[in-house]
Amino acid sequence: MDGAVLTVTPVACVDRTGRPYEVTLELSRDGLPYGTVGERCGWQLARLAGGVEEARRGRGEAGRWPDPDDRFPEGRELFSFRYRAGRGGTTGGELGCWLRTIPVWEPRQGGRGSWRLTRRAFVEAWGTGGQGARAVLTSAELSGFVRGLVDEAEIVCSEELSRSGTGTGETR
């Protein structure tokens, strides 16, 4: 919201043989390192991407919202990823997404109006220095963001698999 550009990049987590098995997210703000979060979060992102797509189609409770941009999976917190330090502490960044219901006044001719409720996803990131960044997204925008992360994570893991040679019986 402040004009900063937050970049979220999936990075492959590899086992001791070099085989990728999950992803972590690296954050940068305006091109500078901002934090590393979400150790092994790929499955959560894939599940959320499917949930947002289902909600946009009007399945379940989300169907009571007439505007598809207001349709999200149920729950207030869609994800919360933090950096985990060795002893359970948290440092190194945070990325989360929370749903908020926002009343919007819609004036009408003749001076009478009405309140309309909208829902938006607030994606917030906190860097290692304590400075925050926030974006307010419709469900379509959140769907594009999360689906893009999942697609990029699959590419990153496939490239890592090819590079390591663990998928072909080779070792390097």
Name the least confident of 10-14, 42-46, 160-164.
Answer: 160-164
Q: Is the pLDDT of residue 130 over 90?
A: no
Name the least confident of 13-17, 66-70, 167-171.
Answer: 167-171
Q: Is the pLDDT of residue 90 over 60?
A: no
pLDDT, one tens digit per residue, over 101-129 is 999 899 988 878 999 999 999 999 998 87
Question: What pLDDT score was predicted for residue 163?
Answer: 86
Total residues belonging to the chain: 172
Question: What pLDDT score was predicted for residue 131?
Answer: 83
Question: What pLDDT score was predicted for residue 58?
Answer: 92
pLDDT, one tens digit per residue, over 142-170 is 999 999 999 999 999 999 999 877 555 44
Of 133, 144, 127, 167, whose CA–CA distance to 21 is shortest? 167
Per-residue pLDDT, averaged over 47-76, amounts to 93
Buried-state track 44-65, b at ≥16 Cβ within 10 A, e below 16: ebbebbebbeebbeeeeebeeb
- For residues 64 and 123, the answer to whether their CB atoms sit within 8 Å is no
Question: What pLDDT score was predicted for residue 103?
Answer: 94
Q: Is the pLDDT of residue 20 over 80?
A: yes
| pLDDT-above-90 percentage for the chain | 68
- Residue 162: both structure tokens together: 């090819």
Q: Is the pLDDT of residue 171 over 50?
A: no
